[in-house]
Amino acid sequence: MNPIKFMITAKQYIHVIPETIKKGDCAVCAECDVDYVDEEKGLTIRFGSTEAETFNGVFGFEGFDDLLNNKLFFDNDKRRDPGFEYNQYCQDVIKNTDVIDKYFFESNSNKGRQPFYTSWFYNDKSGNIIFEISPLYPWFNVDDAARKPGFMTYEDFMKNYKVSIHKVIPKETLMHWDKQAKSYDHVCDDF
């Protein structure tokens, strides 16, 4: 299957990389890794994983029109950021949050490869479309977490917590990404 890039700048993009599917393999079962790449900094962050068969609608997520029409406001004056809030929710520090229902885009936590990340789209108070990637505490809902390699307490994890990527995405770019994703053709290798 063919990879696809969603350009932010000439050197920064979201790179969707499908796993190789050979003739006779189940195309519906295939998955795509979703990476943020900054070529100038030599940075790659695997922040998502999605089914290849459903990828063509990835930018047409529920709330896409609300995002384009500045209706997915996240109030950073009253709330820190969606990733911080989601970490707090997963640890039962807060009981309710709307971040998953309204702002969530992708996560790589379902793959089990650390570090875990989540990503978000929202509007800021200036009406900008914001794309963020934030770290996710990897040991929530893990049995015997303290015995896992690299374990750290939630409190220690949050001491160093900060948003990893924060980008303003022009409306035209997001609309282009949506068209690009919807026209994406899954090409399988003929092996």
CB 105 within 8 A of CB 61: yes
Residue length of the chain: 191
At residue 82's C-alpha, the angle toward residues 141 and 182, to 5°, is 95
Give the model confidence (pLDDT) of 120-168 as tens digits: 999 999 999 999 999 999 988 777 878 888 899 999 999 999 999 999 9
Task: Give the confidence band of 57 by pLDDT, cuts at 50, 70, 90.
Answer: low
The model's pTM is 0.88
CA distances from 126 to 75, 81, 162, 174, 177 (A): 11, 16, 22, 17, 22
Which pLDDT tens digit goes with each residue over 90-99?
Answer: 999 999 999 9
* Main-chain dihedrals φ then ψ at residue 154, nearest 5 degrees: -60, -40
Choice among 60-69, 78-87, 126-135, 168-177 with the minimum mean pLDDT: 60-69
Is the pLDDT confidence value at 14 over 80? Answer: yes
What are the sequence ranges of the domains in the chain?
4-182
As a whole number of angstroms, the distance between CA 75 and CA 95 comes to 18
Is pLDDT at 188 greater than 70 in this prediction? no
- Rounded Cα gap, residues 94 and 34, in angstroms: 29
More confident residue, 190 or 141: 141
Residue 56 has pLDDT above 70, yes or no: no
- Sign, CA dihedral 89-143-151-106, equals negative
Sequence letter at residue 66:
D
Of 50, 31, 46, give the one whose Cα is nearest residue 113. 46
Q: Are 2 and 31 in contact (CB under 8 A)?
A: no
Question: Taking 80 as the threshold, does the pLDDT of residue 62 lie above it?
Answer: no
Mean pLDDT across the chain:
86
